[in-house]
Amino acid sequence: MADKAEKKTFNDLGLSVDALDAINKKGFEEPTEIQTMTIPVMLRDDTNIIAQAQTGTGKTAAFGLPLIKMVNTASKAVQALILVPTRELAIQVSEEINSLKGNKPINIVPIYGGQSIVQQLRRLKKGVHIVVGSPGRVIDHLYRKTLKLDKIDHLILDEADEMLNMGFIEDMEKIMQHTNPDKRTLLFSATIPKRIKDLAHKYMDGYELLTIKKKQLTPNLTEQIYFEVKASDKFEALCRIIDIEDDFYGLVFCRTKVDVDSVLSHLTDRGYDAEAIHGDISQAQRERTLGKFKKQNINILIATDVAARGIDVNNLSHVINYSLPQNPESYVHRIGRTGRAGNEGVAITFITPREYKQLMFIQRVAKTDIKRSKIPEVKDIIKAKKQKIYDDLSTILDNEIDSEYYNWSKKLISENNPTDILAAILSYCFEEELNPDAYSEIKAVGSKDRQKDRQLDRHGKARLFVALGKRDKMNARKLIDLIISRVPIKSKQIKDIQVMDKFSFMNVPFAKAEKIVLSFKEKGRKPLITHAKQRTGNNGKQRMRRRSS
């Protein structure tokens, strides 16, 4: 059992030059504790591993970097299977390993429910080195004999306790029975309950236990809340949060460089003291910007995750996730920048209705509590601003004021009503700042909007109902050809096809959906293709049905 590791750099861990270059480009400066412990043991390739580590400790790189070095690119066989509990995590792990492989020609494919199985079949057929999958879809491919695991060298169970909590333990056992008996098995889990220990004893012939000291994932002094808003209302919500605070001093996270530049442009247009850092900013400019932020010459810094690495500021009042983090690990890293050194802080996350499920997954895996809150109302912001002005004026009155202002004041009062002249001065100084019309309306969203948005996936897809099925001798290929014959659309844009006995479903880009529906309308006949709609059946489960026309 390993419980402590020396302070090492990535260069000390035996990684390839390609991997080290990729690490440097991503901005990682030194390995985390779990990476320092896991990478050398995994590269020895002579033992199974159980690694007990929490979300936010860098587990993906801990197993991903050794895998990249050990994969034999000359072979087209699947050499590693990484099992994860959700499709969101499958995507995230796949993207993370892809970003670490450098120039090595490794094929990494995520497979999960909800994605077109036809697309997955095509990618698997071409040859894949590493598969990242959710248990249900992996079993589906095993039964179809489209995924072979008899030659894999490594099986990795990521978030094993979460898979146990979600009822996947039997699926995990089924999958393990299809794998190469001589493989290495690596089990990563935040906790090691008895059921997980039993699984290890049954399927792992001895193992080395690696564990890191349990830490508080999210700061105790950080209040965590989320606002559910439409994407178009995010900027307005950000301005309201900044304006209602007495002394806002915060870090705003965006997913892309384009988003960072856009938010910065809008903030500076409104007169806020803000600057930004991202991958296209030079090192000299980055250092100047961070210097100004640490000295509080600016009170708002907008950044991407990668660019924010290395920022060490203890007295932030807010961390704002303008874009939802892609995974629990990113969430933990982001909000860990507030609530430091005994200071209280607030972590705020903006989500659109369709991102609610992903936020709940982040909350569950990060083992934290993110409470829903309401966007500040304009009247409350104006009230807060007036109070700040009152407090500032009281502070000025407590200090000595230049006699020139007293003389000016006496002259003004001698010629005007004191109340009128004070009201005029306040209006002159604060009319623009206290104008409620400066704020745009934000429409409330909630569960009804999430219900509506289920028709669209996260990439803007619409679900269509087709009144043709197997009894009409239809299959996925024939349905694609039928659509292409009427509407200019690429076959790869038609996804998640389900062919039933009497009808079928498919996902298409939202922008193409209406064109497809209209192209199949015939006067006097029931539409062949319509928008699909969800309804709740007697058993309480969601089902798709044809939208009445």
Taking residues 243-254, what's their average pLDDT?
92
Q: How many CA atoms lie within 13 A of 116 on its CB side?
A: 21
CA dist., res. 32 & res. 61, Å (int)? 9
Q: What is the pLDDT of residues 389-423, one digit of tens each?
A: 998 888 888 888 888 988 999 999 999 999 999 99
Q: At what angle do helices 378-397 and 418-430 cross, to 10 degrees?
A: 120
Q: Which of 328, 344, 378 is the last residue of a domain?
A: 378
Q: What is the band of 322 on the pLDDT scale with cuts at 50, 70, 90?
A: very high
Mark whether 179 and 264 lie in a shared domain.
no
Task: Calculate what percentage of the chain has a pLDDT beyond 70.
Answer: 89
Structure tokens at 312: 């060490």
Mark whether 232 and 134 lie in a shared domain.
no
State yes or no: pLDDT of 106 exceeds 80. Answer: yes
Q: Which of 352, 378, 404 is the last residue of a domain?
A: 378
Structural domain harbouring 147: 10-211
Strand-strand pairing, 345-351 and 184-189: unpaired
User: Does 87 reside within a domain?
Assistant: yes
State yes or no: pLDDT of 522 exceeds 70. Answer: yes
State yes or no: pLDDT of 315 exceeds 50. Answer: yes
Average confidence score pLDDT of the chain: 84
DSSP 422-482: HHHHHHHHHTTTT-GGGS-------HHHHHHHTTB-TTSEEEEEES--GGGT--HHHHHHH
Q: What is the pLDDT of residues 418-433, one digit of tens each?
A: 999 999 999 888 887 8
Mark whether 165 and 17 lie in a shared domain.
yes
Q: What is the pLDDT of residues 41-100, one digit of tens each?
A: 999 988 999 998 876 678 889 999 999 999 999 998 999 999 998 877 888 789 889 988
What pLDDT sits at residue 549?
A: 34
Q: Which of 350, 378, 406 is the last residue of a domain?
A: 378
What pLDDT sits at residue 215?
A: 58
Overall number of domains in the chain: 3
User: Does 449 reside within a domain?
Assistant: no
Query: What is the reported pTM?
Result: 0.54
Mark whether 198 and 284 lie in a shared domain.
no
CA dist., res. 148 & res. 124, Å (int)? 10
Q: What is the pLDDT of residues 134-147, one digit of tens each?
A: 998 999 999 999 99
CB neighbour class for 317 (10 Å; exposed up to 12, middle 13-18, buried from 19): middle
What pLDDT sits at residue 449?
A: 64
Mark whether 205 and 246 lie in a shared domain.
no
User: Does 243 reside within a domain?
Assistant: yes
State yes or no: pLDDT of 540 exceeds 60. Answer: no
What pLDDT sits at residue 65?
A: 93
Q: What is the band of 167 on the pLDDT scale with cuts at 50, 70, 90?
A: confident
User: Does 4 reside within a domain?
Assistant: no
Q: State the first-to-last Cα distance of the chain, in angstroms, to the nearest integer.
A: 65
What pLDDT sits at residue 162?
A: 79
CA dist., res. 465 & res. 439, Å (int)? 41
16-30, 303-317, 453-467: range with lowest mean pLDDT:
453-467
User: Does 413 reside within a domain?
Assistant: no
Mark whether 166 and 266 lie in a shared domain.
no
What pLDDT sits at residue 264?
A: 94
State yes or no: pLDDT of 1 exceeds 50. Answer: no
Q: What is the pLDDT of residues 261-302, one digit of tens each?
A: 999 999 988 889 999 998 788 878 888 998 899 889 999 999
State yes or no: pLDDT of 10 exceeds 80. Answer: yes
Tell me the torsion sign for CA atoms 485, 488, 493, 496.
negative
Cβ atoms 443, 449 nearer than 8 A: no
What pLDDT sits at residue 118?
A: 87
- Residue 101: which CATH number? 3.40.50.300
State yes or no: pLDDT of 216 exceeds 60. Answer: no
Edge-to-edge strand list for the sheet holding 48-52: 108-111, 130-133, 80-83, 154-157, 184-189, 48-52, 207-211
Mark whether 94 and 179 lie in a shared domain.
yes
Mark whether 203 and 247 lie in a shared domain.
no
The candidate with the shortest Cα–Cα distance to 114, out of 98, 96, 136, is 136
Structure tokens at 101: 């492989």
User: Does 388 reside within a domain?
Assistant: no
Mark whether 31 and 152 lie in a shared domain.
yes
State yes or no: pLDDT of 304 exceeds 80. Answer: yes
Mark whether 192 and 235 lie in a shared domain.
no
Q: What is the band of 217 on the pLDDT scale with cuts at 50, 70, 90?
A: low
State yes or no: pLDDT of 331 exceeds 70. Answer: yes
Task: Calculate what percentage of the chain has a pLDDT beyond 90.
Answer: 37
- Please identify which residue in the block is written with the tokens 């998640």: 496
Strand-strand pairing, 250-253 and 300-303: parallel
Mark whether 39 and 184 lie in a shared domain.
yes
User: Does 469 reside within a domain?
Assistant: yes
- Residue 473: which CATH number? 3.30.70
- Please identify which residue in the block is written with the tokens 């004191």: 418
Q: What is the pLDDT of residues 465-498, one digit of tens each?
A: 999 999 999 998 899 999 998 888 888 788 888 8
Structure tokens at 345: 């802080």
Query: Which of 160 and 156 is assigned the larger pLDDT?
Result: 156
Tell me the torsion sign for CA atoms 16, 20, 23, 25.
negative
CA dist., res. 454 & res. 528, Å (int)? 22
Mark whether 108 and 247 lie in a shared domain.
no
User: Does 408 reside within a domain?
Assistant: no
